[in-house]
Amino acid sequence: MRSIVFDSSAIISIATNNLLWVLKSLKEKFRGNFYITESVKEEIIDYPIKTKKFKLEAMQILSLISDGVLEVYSNDKVKERSYYFSNLINNMFEARGEFIQVVQKGEMESLALVEYLSSNAFVIDERTTRVIIENPLKLLKLLGRKLHTKIKLNKNSLKAFKVIGDINVIRTSELLAVAFELGILDKYIEDKENLVGKDLKRDLLDGVLWGLKLKGCAISSNEINELLRLEGFKGKR
């Protein structure tokens, strides 16, 4: 069965841009399942629903689960595998005699679920986990620059982690670019261009991408311009 797994960072980026409604249309086009893990549910619903700041977003996400758009997947094997990943990665990079804790429970449980289901994609905006999956040696350099010290690499942990195979990691920027291509976002501009006297197609995509960037998606301005170019628009304006 086709599936996509979402990390909490991705759902938060979408929710804080008031774009959760897009997921239903995307799922219908995808014809598969959209999953989150128990740990991610705790991060985006169970905890924030008790707060003032993110209570509304938590309730909106809860509605997606109630409607079956998002499904919570729980499996003991996935949890065990997530502990394994956490131990590997959090013992991979050492600075000043101590290992650096670079990943959290929710991210690793999501990664374990992607592997378990052989999912089509893993949607995650959090930069560190995305880099560790795609290019662990790049993270080595990033950590060194951030901490202003030499980072020691545990090669055994790195070798063991690499056996998970290829995972298709995407950000919400790529996911919403697909929604744009499918015309799902067109309701924002239909019958409105006469009000501003110009074509709003480019502004729609630009606005979505910058909204995601400013709410947590790790995408650079150059990458935004590249996505605009790929969609047939000029980059900077």
Residues 124 and 216 in one domain: no
DSSP string, 14-39: HHTTT-TTHHHHHHHHHTSEEEEEHH
Q: What residues pair up with 72 in beta bridges, in sequence order?
A: 36
Per-10-residue mean pLDDT of the chain, 237 residues long, equals 96 96 97 97 96 93 97 95 94 93 92 95 93 90 91 92 84 96 94 76 95 94 94 73
Q: For the chain, how many structural domains are there in total?
A: 2
* Phi, psi angles (nearest 5°) of residue 178: -65, -45
pLDDT at 120: 96
Residues 174, 71: Cα–Cα separation, whole Å: 21
What is the Cα gyration radius of the chain?
19
Parallel, antiparallel or unpaired: strands 152-153 and 93-95? antiparallel
Task: Answer whether residue 211 is part of any domain.
Answer: yes
Residues 163 and 180 in one domain: no
pLDDT at 1: 85
Task: Answer whether residue 141 is part of any domain.
Answer: yes
Q: Which residue has the tokens 């709003």?
A: 200
Residues 75 and 124 in one domain: yes
